[in-house]
Amino acid sequence: MNPLDLINLTNTGVFIIFVGTAGIILLSKPLDKIIMFSLLQGGFVLVLAAARYLDVAMAAALFDPISTIILLMAVMRINDIRAGRREEIA
């Protein structure tokens, strides 16, 4: 059996998904977590394409950046609020 047969869309996508999961769970800073979350979403789109659900892959590719942007804006906003409160206390 050719070892290159192991590199197909499903295996690559599942590998990327697990790398993203390990990153999300183990990294501690929220910004690093968001970067690893986009890795997880990229792997998910890859698995959807491997299943030949290209319409669902299109919807996922449309919705994923939206939730990434929402998370980024929330993290920046919460950092601002916490910095302001720390200044108030000091």
Partner 1 sequence: MLETQIWFYSGAILVILGSLATARGPGVRDPIVRILNTEVAAVGVSLIFLTYNHTLALLTFIAATSIMTLILLRAVIRLEEMGVEE
Question: Whose structure tokens read 């047969």?
Answer: 5
If one asks whether residue 25 binds partner 1 (CB under 8 A), the answer comes out as yes
If one asks whether residue 67 binds partner 1 (CB under 8 A), the answer comes out as yes
Determine the Cα angle at 29 with ends 16 and 60, to 5°: 40
What's the N-to-C CA distance of the chain in angstroms?
A: 67
If one asks whether residue 70 binds partner 1 (CB under 8 A), the answer comes out as yes
If one asks whether residue 54 binds partner 1 (CB under 8 A), the answer comes out as no
Residues 6 or more apart in contact with residue 41 via CB below 8 angstroms:
20, 60, 64, 68
The residues that touch partner 1, with contacts defined as CB under 8 A, are 10-11, 14, 17-18, 21, 24-26, 28, 30, 33-34, 37, 40-41, 44, 47-48, 50-51, 53, 55-56, 59-60, 63-64, 66-67, 70-71, 74-75, 77-78, 81-82, 85
